[in-house]
Structure 1
Amino acid sequence: MAPMRWAAMAMVAALAASCSPQGSNPNGSGRDDRPMIVVGRSGLGAFLAGRLAQGQGDTAAAADYYAAALSRDPDNGDLLQRAFTLMVTEGRMDGAVPMARRLQDLDSESAMPVLVSGLADVHDGLLVQAESRFAALPRRGLNGLVGPLMSAWALAGQGRTDQALAALEPLAQSKGFAGVKAYHSGLINDLAGRHDAAEAAFSEALAGQLSIRGIEAAGSLYQRRNRSDQARHLYERYQQEHPDTLLFDGNALLKAGPALAPAVPDAQSGMAEALFDVASLMRQGNGQEAAVVFARLALYMRPDFPLARAILGDMLSAQDRLDAANLVYGGIAPDAAAYYYGQMRVAVNQEELGDTDAALTRLAKLAKDRPDSLDPLITRGDILRRKKRFAEAAEAYGAAINRIGPALSVQHWPLIYSRGICLERIKQWDRAEADFKKALELKPDQPDVLNYLGYTWVDAGINLDDGRAMLEKAASLRPRDGAIIDSLGWALYRLGDYHNAVKYLERAVELKAEDPTINDHLGDAYWQVGRQAEAMFQWRRAMGLDPEPEMIEPLKEKLRTGQVPAKPVTK
């Protein structure tokens, strides 16, 4: 490397170090606790550190670094734009709003600064000024959706209902936005007390797609008009189509009766609804970065918006920002239907972060609070099984099975199968075998169950013909599943059919090359057919692939002696 390049790299490192984080951030914005930035004489170090952090996906740190660089170079438009964008992405609106207004002064057609400035006006009660800003949004691309929605709600907040509805009309020109137009027409009419028009609009919106918010808005209107039977039918329809949802609870809504509040009580909440809809559309279209921004803006307008918190938490979790996601989930109110979902997600994230005890404690509380729910018990069992705490896992799965009672059906085969695995691992074979057979009764020819039961039978030297038939069936159903092909190969080995065992085990290694067990099995098979050098190679490879603890000593012994201790099963 040239000396000049070494010198340049050293300078970058020194500059980045000069603005290293210090202190902490207490604002509760949903970020990880983020140290404050100490800025040296030049903002260049902070800028470079910001670019590095942004490139690594750490938008929280990048926002801090760019803001620090901007404090040293406040007239730098590029820095201002970068800092603003990341402030919005992080939901730090106290910092983003002043930047938005400065950017709007520099470029009045820059859409995001105009939008954020308008939203800030709404916060300040300046709906007329907000309307003027929203009217200036360019009506192209995504803003062809955002602009009409924001303008409509700014007008609705002034009591100008007809003008608000007219502002939505451009959305009718796009088939993809017709449902959004109908939904927001319903919300605006409902807010204005035009209940017949609202009901007609909601019916139009729900004819295209059953969304949770659409169901809640229409159901609320029915209940407030003393038509709870219609609301119940709507809720039941949604829950029948989405039986596993944790985000909707029709029974809880029905308990409120005619006193159920409207889905959108004011114009500011209507804007939050619109921003949430945009975030959802962006997320469905794989526009994750834009989806995060619009979810943050929705929460700026309505911090207690449960579904906005749910999808933002999910997106942060997908980015592996688990602490930040948990802060977002934690903001879901306990009386919201999505609270239970958020708490489940927090528990999963806690386990991912290594705090297994906290996750298990949270799941135990959720199981107690929701005596009809299976999810906390199943998730608890899954965590315990991954931690190889098989007895406790079997107990958790068993508690879930007890809650189902006689209503076991095909959808429950994975639960029965999971308990069977745990029982087999703690050597309660009779109970495990019963579970595997029950799982196959619920889901005949399920490859995973056929594989596990067939392999266990053959490895134990029992039910050899049935076990081999099960494994051959599983392999025919999943010919590219390395674990299943390994099971069939090892069964053939145990039956003394070494040459065919080699054929299947070689195929298994091709499919799942990094599995230590499969490499170990292939080594044994090679040894039995006289290919000792290749056997030693496979055993060494298995040792280098982080084998299970119980595999280590047998592998060491084989490598030391060059002998295979395992004997085939004889009929």
Structure 2
Amino acid sequence: MIYTLGLLHLQQEQFEAAREDFTRLIQQGQRKDEGHYYLGRIAEEQNDFQTAIAEFEKVGKRQYYLDSRARIASIYADLEGLERAQQYLAEFRAQLDSTDDVAQVYLIEGQLLHDQKLYVAAIDLYSEGLQKFPGHSDLLYARALMAEEIDRIDMLESDLRAILSNDPDNASALNALGYTLADHNFRIGEALVYIQRALEIRPDDPAVIDSMGWVQFRLGNYEQAEQYLRKAYGLLKDAEIGGHLVELFWAQGDHEGARKMMQEVLERFPDEEYLLELQRKFQQ
């Protein structure tokens, strides 16, 4: 009851009440890891970063263990720089025994590098992880997505195919491979096959539905593309899906519809580079 009340107060941004709830929970010896985790989240929200770090450090090896350490690393990156965050993660990684836990810490560090647009460094980091854990699907997938950032489509395709060789029904890899081929206008028929298979596995996934809409757009099937893209956007108000609808409307000659859609998604995502590029393109 106290835990549920604490979550409710936190959701309503009643931070003092939530802090009292989670403190009482810990004092009663109940769900102590969750209590310390959420006390850390509250401190983080209030920019009390030293308290946040102290609370996150108290979270034991259960549900929020890795996420709490990821948040500590993010705080260090913001306050003391990326090198300090990487030092912390390297020390933390050395304490772990589980292969999956170590791999997850590589992913956490890679995300920090991605956030600072250090894509090559992130690829090198994932490659280091893959030397230790050859064929690890999460590391392969992460390296594939990072490779796309620097137009290394060859690496992306190689890594995704490596995943699919061991797990042919991996919907994430199928979707990523199909979408990337379609997005770059490479082998569109092959891209369609991958996305169709991903959609069979995850028929309600807005990312996969968006991919199907995008490959139909590349094939010139605008009516089908619109059906899929509208459905995807209805499920998930995402900048990229909205941008795809903008491009579709413009290609159909519905410039007014494209402008209205652009206005809507820019209100939601005013700093999204893809949308800003589209806006510049259509203003020319």
Task: For structure 2, list consecutive stretches of 5 or more residues without a partner in the other structure.
Answer: 1-11
Distance 1:553 1:425, change over 3 A: closer
Alignment-mate amino acid for residue 58 of structure 1: E
Q: 1:466-514: per-residue Cα shift (whole Å, max 9, x none)?
A: 210111222232232222211111111111111211111111221123x
* Equivalent-residue separation in structure 1 for 2:226 and 2:276 (angstroms): 22
What's the Cα RMSD here? Answer: 3.3
**Structure 1 pair 469–295 and aligned structure 2 pair: CA distance change class (3 A):** same
Secondary structure of 1:295's partner? Answer: coil
Equivalences for 1:399-410 in 2 at 5 Å?
399-405=128-134, 408=135
CA distance in 1, matches of 2:277, 2:13: 44
Deviation at 1:310, TM superposition (A): 4.7
- 8 Å CA contact 1:489–1:505 kept in 2: the answer is yes
How many Å apart are 1:343 and its aligned residue? 8.8
Instruction: Specify whether residues 311 and 428 from structure 1 end up closer, same or farther in structure 2 by C-alpha distance, changes over 3 A only.
Output: same
Partner of 1:428: 152
Structure with bigger helix share is 2
Contact in 1 for aligned 2:262/2:275 (Cα 8 Å) = no
SS of the equivalent of 1:314 reads helix
User: Which whole-Å CA distance do the structure 2 matches of 1:430 and 1:556 have between them?
Assistant: 30
Structure 2 residue aligned with 1:294, among 28, 31, 48? 28
Post-superposition CA distance 1:370-401 (Å, at most 9, x none): 69743432321233234443222222222111
1:438 partner letter? A
The 5 A counterparts of 1:438-453 are 438-453=162-177
- Larger-gyration structure (1/2): 1
User: Distance between the aligned counterparts of 1:492 and 1:400, measured in 2?
Assistant: 37
Residue 437 of structure 1 corresponds to 161
2:53 corresponding residue in structure 1? 326
Correspondence 1:344-363 to 2 at 5 A: 345-351=68-74, 354-355=78-79, 357=82, 358-363=84-89
In structure 1, the partner of 2:246 is 523
Q: Would the aligned equivalents of 2:130 and 2:139 in 1 still touch at CA under 8 Å?
A: yes
1:498 matched to which residue of 2?
Answer: 222
TM-score by length of 2: 0.76
Distance in 2 separating the partners of 1:344 and 1:529: 45
Instruction: Output the amino acid matched with 1:554.
Output: L
Q: For the residues of structure 1 that align with 2:207 and 2:104, how far apart are their CA atoms? A: 28
Q: AA paired with 2:155?
A: R
Residue identity in the other structure for 1:542: V
- Cα deviation 1:515-535 (Å, max 9, x = unaligned): 222222212222333433212
Gaps of 5+ in 1: 1-53, 63-85, 90-287, 297-307, 562-571
CA distance in 2, matches of 1:421, 1:436: 9
Deviations 1:237-281, CA, capped at 9 Å, x for gaps: xxxxxxxxxxxxxxxxxxxxxxxxxxxxxxxxxxxxxxxxxxxxx
Aligned to 1:364: 90
Alpha-carbon separation, structure 2, partners of 1:498 and 1:377: 41
1:536 matched to 2:259? The reply is yes
Which residue identity lines up with residue 420 of structure 1 in the other structure? A
Alignment of 1:392 with 2:121, yes or no, is: yes
SS in 1 for 2:15: coil
**One-letter amino acid of the structure 1 residue matched with residue 25 of structure 2:** A
For 1:479 and 1:316, how far apart are their aligned partners in 2? Answer: 38
1:349 deviates by: 3.0
Q: Is the 8 A contact 1:436 1:449 kept in 2?
A: yes
Change (3 A) 1:502 1:364: same
**Residue 188 of structure 2: aligned partner:** 464
Q: Is the 8 A contact 1:499 1:529 kept in 2?
A: no
Question: CA separation of 1:350/1:478 partners in 2, compared to 1, >3 Å: closer, same or farther?
Answer: same
TM-fit CA distance, 1:449 = 1.3
Q: Is the 8 A contact 1:313 1:325 kept in 2?
A: no
Deviation of 1:325 after TM superposition, in Å, equals 4.5
Contact 2:57–2:68 under 8 Å retained in 1: no
- Count the aligned residue pairs: 259
1:383 corresponding residue in structure 2: 112
Q: CA deviation at 1:543?
A: 2.8
Deviation string 1:101-127 (CA, Å, 9 cap, x unpaired) is xxxxxxxxxxxxxxxxxxxxxxxxxxx
- AA aligned to 1:543 is L
User: Does structure 1 residue 56 correspond to structure 2 residue 38?
Assistant: no
Bigger RCO (CA 8 Å, 6+ sep): 2
Contact in 2 for aligned 1:451/1:470 (Cα 8 Å)? yes
- CA pair 451-426 structure 1, distance change in 2 beyond 3 A: same
The alpha-carbon distance between structure 1 residues 485 and 352, as it changes in their structure 2 partners (threshold 3 A), is farther
> Match of 1:525, as an amino acid?
L
SS in 2 for 1:321: helix
The alignment's TM-score, normalised by the length of structure 1, stands at 0.40
Q: Quote the residue 2:3 is aligned against.
A: none
1:360/1:380 contact within 8 Å kept: yes
Tell me the alpha carbon deviations over residues 443-474 of structure 1, each in whole angstroms, 9 at most, x when there is no partner: 22222211111011122222222210111222
Q: How does 1:60-459 map to 2 (within 5 A)?
A: 291-295=25-29, 310=33, 312-317=35-40, 319-322=41-44, 323=49, 324-328=51-55, 330=57, 345-351=68-74, 354-355=78-79, 357=82, 358-367=84-93, 373-405=102-134, 408=135, 412-459=136-183
